[in-house]
Amino acid sequence: MKEIMVIVGYECNNMCLFCSVGDQDRLFNRTYDDIVQNMADDYKNGFKSIQFLGGEATIRKDIIKIVKKAKEIGYEKISFETNGRMFCNEMFTKRIIEAGLTHVTFSIHGHTAEIHDTLTQAPGSFEQAVRGIQEVKKYEGVVVAINHVVTRVNYKNLSDFLGFIEQFGISWILFIFINPIANARKNYRILVPKLSETMKFMRDAIISSNGYKTRISIQNIPLCILGEYDELSTTIDDQRDVTVNFEDEKKPQLSDKIEELKIRPDKCYSCKKNGICEGVWKGYYELFGDDELKPVT
Ligand code: SF4
């Protein structure tokens, strides 16, 4: 199903150290009419799935009205990528699900408040997000997934994190190796772990989660580093049907944005995976070079 990602504005109630829109005007919110116009046009252009993003889309005063409108227009899948804090409010959760919400992806970056709140720079955000998951899980038809940005603050705790998440009955968890964009670019030296070092802990986490119900995917770790676990990787093809609707840009495809920001160094040309691997973030390559990449023969 073709998906449109709609950025509704950049206002947010967290201050994540790795925020990928942290360089935007945080007070900026698109108007309701502008969003509705886009939703209607995108639906006519064949999009049946819509995902709302920010900033933090759930803190808009008119967000329930926007979700209702998306449903009225005909969208079959209506989702949010969210820090999850608003969902701790029982009434908000009930109303947004009744309005048409079908999928929620919570961004949770640690199995403890100490780790998560350090990364979000928002004391109490962990507790609210966890309560948010519990509220949404009361509604059987709503699919819940997790995004977990892997950084130097949390990469040694991936097994603990999977164990913690398992209790909630989550469908799917996506480990995202930190992108060097906006805030993350500014804090990259402090936040980025080495890929090879991260992979040691990722491997342990995957092994320790054997038998868990939550499905794992991994983003932004090159296939040669994932090795025997490369099938868990998302690929550029997964993003081809996803288009991002910014206020100030002409609907770029997500796959094009990613390709712009990544590099496959010269040694990749001899690699068997070259056609399907995204390579490595340019920002990572500038910092650490390509010593860790081992072309697959
Ligand atoms: S050598 Fe390059 S193309 Fe091959 S898997 Fe590694 S990063 Fe990807």
* Domains with residue ranges and CATH for the chain: 3-261 (3.20.20.70)
As a whole number, the mean pLDDT across the chain is 91
As a whole number of angstroms, the distance between CA 50 and CA 134 comes to 23
As a whole number of angstroms, the distance between CA 6 and CA 25 comes to 17
As a whole number of angstroms, the distance between CA 42 and CA 291 comes to 43
Helical (H) or strand (E) element with 245 = strand 242-245
- Ligand 1: does its nearest atom lie under 6 Å from the Cβ of 268? yes
Contacts 24+ apart (CB under 8 A), 228-231: 229/202, 229/203, 230/273
Instruction: Tell how far CA 260 is from the center of its chain.
Output: 18
- Ligand 1: does its nearest atom lie under 6 Å from the Cβ of 223? yes
Atom of ligand 1 nearest to the CA of 277: 8
pLDDT at 239 over 70: no
Q: What is the pTM of this model?
A: 0.92
Atom of ligand 1 nearest to the CA of 223: 5
Mutation choice for ligand 1 from 259, 262, 271, CB with most ligand atoms inside 8 A: 271
Q: Average pLDDT in the 173-178 region?
A: 95
- Ligand 1: does its nearest atom lie under 6 Å from the Cβ of 191? no
Ligand 1 centroid to Cα of residue 286, in Å, is 16
- Ligand 1: does its nearest atom lie under 6 Å from the Cβ of 208? no
Q: Are 34 and 79 in contact (CB under 8 A)?
A: no
- Ligand 1: does its nearest atom lie under 6 Å from the Cβ of 224? yes
Q: pLDDT tens for residues 99-152?
A: 999 999 999 999 999 999 999 999 999 999 999 999 999 999 999 999 999 999
Q: pLDDT tens for residues 27-77?
A: 888 999 999 999 999 999 999 999 998 889 999 999 999 999 999 999 999
pLDDT at 229 over 80: yes
